A and B are shown apart, each in its own frame.
Chain A
Amino acid sequence: DIQMTQSPSSVSASIGDRVTISCRASQDIRNSLAWYQQKPGQAPNLLIYYASTLQSGVPSRFSGSGYGTDFTLTISSLQPEDFATYYCQQAHTFSLTFGGGTKVEIK
């Protein structure tokens, strides 16, 4: 199975900060990567797919980049509604796998 490693596991940030989350795949997955946001008590929500394509309705302050094994999710200016846990997921092969998650907390 392809292992997905996210870092950091948590980050404390203030409103307006730029936040960057990394995700590394254990083998080349090309651009077969998605990012999700999950708030407590809710189902996850797709933010980005194909590593950099923004899902419809997702604010443009979210962006994704990367190819191969190294990927990044960036929130350009953190807003109150962005405090949540973020997961990356590879769709290159079965078994589909998620990163361990990054919790974005209020500083």
Chain B
Amino acid sequence: QVQLVESGGGMVQPGRSLRLSCAASGFTFSNFGMHWVRQAPGKGLEWVAFVSYDARVEHYADSVKGRFAISRDGFNNMVHLQMNSLRPEDTAVYYCARIRDSYGYNWFGSWGQGTRVTVFS
């Protein structure tokens, strides 16, 4: 059974950094691209970042490009999101998500429970 468990959320001041982690289990981690998706309080879903199954390809939303970095650790089946220069508008629940099919299209087939990030001044 696919399981994704996020951690690392919290409350930080603008300009500071935070590192989110996602522990994956129940599937062959090295076969699947992984994403981070966020949801601001009371708002809709916003895709944030993607890392390919082999870590060779990364993509970012324009809103986080140059500030956030996604990475994966195949040894420990983890995905990370390093968030630098945080802004109040980065306040959201951050979800880790796995694509539905190995090497497939970017539908989000499995989701974690989310970790909350609050950026306050």
Residues of A at the B interface (CB closer than 8 Å) are 1, 32, 34, 36, 38, 43-46, 49-50, 55, 87, 89, 91, 94-101
Known contacts A43-B112, A89-B107: does B47 contact A49 (CB below 8 Å)?
A: no
In the assembled complex, the CB of B109 is this many whole angstroms from the nearest CB of chain A, namely: 5
Residues of A within 8 A of B100 (CB): 46, 49, 55
In the assembled complex, the CB of B82 is this many whole angstroms from the nearest CB of chain A, namely: 19
In the assembled complex, the CB of A8 is this many whole angstroms from the nearest CB of chain B, namely: 14
> Chain B, interface size: which category?
20 to 34
From B46, B106, B114, contact of A43 by CB (8 A): B114
Give A98 to B108 CA distance when docked, in angstroms.
Answer: 12
| CB closest residue in chain A, given B6 | A43
In the assembled complex, the CB of B113 is this many whole angstroms from the nearest CB of chain A, namely: 6
From A34, A43, A95, contact of B62 by CB (8 A): A95
B61 at the interface (CB under 8 A from A): yes
Residues of A within 8 A of B112 (CB): 43
| CB closest residue in chain A, given B58 | A94
From A34, A43, A50, A97, contact of B111 by CB (8 A): A43
